[in-house]
A and B are shown apart, each in its own frame.
Chain A
Amino acid sequence: MSEAPVLLQVSHLKKYFETGSGHWLKAVDDISFAIHQGETLGLVGESGCGKTTCGRTIMGMYQKTGGLVCYQGQDVHALKGRALFSFRKDAQMIFQDPYASLDPRMTVSDIIGEGLDVHHLVKNRQDRTARIYELLDMVELNHEHANRFIHEFSGGQRQRIGIARALAVNPSFLVLDEPISALDVSIQAQVVNLLKKLQQEQGLTYLFIAHDLAMVKHISDRVAVMYLGKLVEITRSGELYAHPRHPYTAALLSAIPIPDPDVQARREQERIKLSGEVLSPIDPPPGCRFAGRCPYATDLCHEKTPELTNQGDGHWVACFHQLDR
């Protein structure tokens, strides 16, 4: 899996927001991981854990507070001029809400064509139209859709338009920020299958941000689990499900219902029940962020922050009391 060269290296990335009167919201707090060429890395966590902030900071949409994001060896936050322009073309983003992220006053062809114009990817009008049709075909929409406005489309169709817009400039890296959570299940499957197909055809690299672990497991090669601004575990998705080592990952997995009464009955017996709720990321206390809800927590967890360490075979865990199965 990890033979492919590293496309994006995130090291000790931090993004804090000042909330006034000297308080800091530590949305992303010292996280490191790498994304290899052609793979899909899933980034999961519950709402408010910082996964979207992480995606946006990687894209340079937010200024970082500390750390380093290297895309093909270049520091993303230090890019200027031409280099920045070309990074913006190479790395694209697809957003969660297809109702809010597309301009209601632009036609579909203008939305898709804007990137083509900005990056001078087409020579003339015929080329532009041909390319737009090609992209519409790619996302399985009709050519007639080109002259329509966004309000005429359903959520699934809008998300396809968002995908066509992102792909227009031939990117190699896509950050997908909850691309399917606003869609119905039958439509989710359509979009996920489309994303998988496009990845195979064009060799794209995905950072897939979502809260739905079952879907993330389905689409990702590796999965990173976040909790309150920290990465708690990264490994191959099959391994994560079979042998979660961090108590939070185990609890999260066991809380996801499986649509099968017999399997579910068995799992409910074994479920790791978490008490309490997620802490506020504003001025978090020292120690492991999960310690307050963790059934295995000891004094050590409240004092020291566990580092993300390699447990061999590319399985990284940040915990003093790992689960061994």
Chain B
Amino acid sequence: MSEKLLRVENLRVSYHTYAGEVQAVRGVSFELDQGETLALVGESGCGKSVTARSLMRLNKVPPAEIKPESNVLFQGQNIYQFDAARLGRYRGQDAAMIFQDAMAALNPTMTIGRQVVETLLHHQALSKKAAREQVRILLRQVGISEPDRRFGQYPHELSGGMRQRVMIAMAFANQPRLLIADEPTTALDVTIQAQIIDLMKELQQAHQTAVIMITHDLGVVANLAQKIAVMYAGTIVERGSSREIFYRPRHPYTNMLLEAVPRLDQPEDKELASIAGTPPDLLNPPPGCPFCSRCRYCMDICLKERPPVYQFEPDHQADCWLYALDKPAADAPFTRRNDHE
């Protein structure tokens, strides 16, 4: 068994606010191999962005607190024990991040060319001239037409899709092993979203980059991710291969997420599965299953104790008391979607 590229163990992140301690991430664990794509899926406030940011050590401490039992191992090394120099190399060279709002992530007072050049020069011993040349190649690679003219433009002169392309160029500038993409297409129109997803796929394959894709839209990752982890209220409630998650969801929340969005290929009169209520307040998370107050299969034990992890296929786990019933690996009470086996 070779060393995992990234191993996250029991990540816990809290924010100290005036109202108290918000437990944004409450014990998240996952692993990632070289070249693999993992999607972290969840609704706003479920802790997916906080998880992503803590993989780059971007959470501001305080108010954030990374609990001491958390481990984030990149190629076996804990990134929370990196010194400043090692962290500097880790960020940008080993791992890179793309943000949702490119306008806010880019520096509005620098031309985009200079920003990408800066990224290159920070990590590589290049002459300025060579760096500029390489940036032009990069810009062309990410599908920016007329890179010579764009080089001297400011972020506000570009469209949203173009800005996201610049961010991707910056992220891939030093050929990182790991790319974290935090809702990279959420702010974009669908036709542009499709272009950006294509571009990310292409670059990932070319560089064998591992990708963590954060999104709330299951459709976006349907054909992008090999593995999917579904987050709810600061925990991963279900994880598995993409096919398992889409075709045999085990956790009621995952099932609901799939049923709540209308699909283009379904008849219009199909009613959307709607779930009453809202996610729990993480200032005061419930002692039991975080989803129990909205779950239609809620049992007494769900209110009291957090469910253990149940294993289905080798690559499929769900945290749900439904599977503690005496039938081993019982089928979910909800109907399976499509069984392709």
> Chain B interface: which of A85-93, A114-122, A208-216, A314-322?
A208-216
* A263-282, CB < 8 A from B: 263-265, 268, 271, 273-274, 277-278
List residues of chain B with CB within 8 A of the CB of A264: 219, 222-223
Given the interface contacts A253-B264, A260-B263, A261-B242, does A190 sit within 8 Å of B274 by beta carbon? yes
Cα of A185 to Cα of B258 in the assembled complex, Å: 9
A274 → B minimal CB distance (Å): 5
Q: Is B101 an interface residue (CB 8 A)?
A: no
Stretch at the interface among B22-30, B61-69, B184-192: B184-192
The distance in angstroms between the C-alpha atoms of A215 and B195, with both chains bound, is 21
- How far does the alpha carbon of A241 sit from the alpha carbon of B273 in the complex, in Å? 22
Chain B positions within 8 Å of A268 at CB level: 223
Residues 183-218 of A contacting B (Cβ, < 8 Å)? 184-190, 192-193, 211, 213-215, 217-218
Q: A46-B190, A268-B223 are in contact. Are A214 and B262 (CB under 8 A)?
A: yes
Contact count A vs B, C-beta below 8 Å: 124
Give which listed residue, B267, B278, B294, contacts A156 with CB less than 8 A: B278
| 266-303 of chain B: CB within 8 A of chain A | 267-268, 270-276, 278, 294
- Asked if B330 is an interface residue, CB under 8 A from chain A, the answer is no
> A192, B189: Cβ atoms under 8 Å?
no
**Chain B, interface SS category:** loop
From A154, A219, A241, contact of B264 by CB (8 A): A241
Query: Contact at B223–A213, with CB atoms within 8 Å?
Result: no
B262 and A184 contact, CB distance less than 8 A: no
Query: Is A213 a contact of B191 with CB atoms below 8 Å?
Result: no
B239-279 contacts to A, CB under 8 A, are 242-243, 246, 256-258, 260-265, 267-268, 270-276, 278
Q: How far is the CA of A188 from the CA of B43 in the complex (A)?
A: 11
Q: How far is the CA of A189 from the CA of B263 in the complex (A)?
A: 12
B43 cross-chain contacts in A, Cβ below 8 A: 184-186
B267 proximity list for chain A (CB < 8 A): 238
Say yes or no: is A3 at the interface (Cβ < 8 Å to chain B): no
Q: Is A10 part of the binding interface, using a Cβ–Cβ cutoff of 8 Å?
A: no
Q: Is A286 an interface residue (CB 8 A)?
A: no
Known: A213-B264, A218-B268. A274 touches B191 (CB 8 A): yes
B12 proximal to A (CB < 8 A): no
Known: A259-B219, A277-B159. A213 touches B190 (CB 8 A): yes
Q: Does A83 sit at the interface, judged by CB under 8 A?
A: no
Q: Does B121 contact A (CB under 8 A)?
A: no
Please name all residues of chain B whose beta carbon is closer than 8 Å to the beta carbon of A251 when the two chains form the complex. Answer: 191
Report if A184-B44 is in contact (Cβ < 8 Å); known contacts: A211-B189, A261-B242. yes
Contacts of A187 in B (CB 8 A): 278
B340 in contact (CB, < 8 A): yes
Residues of A within 8 A of B265 (CB): 241, 258, 260, 263
CB neighbours of B193 from chain A (8 A) = 255
Top 7 closest pairs, chain A to chain B, by CB? A257-B219, A218-B262, A46-B189, A189-B272, A184-B43, A189-B260, A189-B274
19 interchain pairs, CB-CB under 8 A: A184-B216, A185-B257, A185-B261, A189-B272, A190-B274, A193-B274, A211-B189, A213-B264, A215-B261, A215-B262, A217-B262, A218-B270, A241-B264, A251-B191, A256-B264, A257-B217, A260-B338, A261-B222, A278-B189
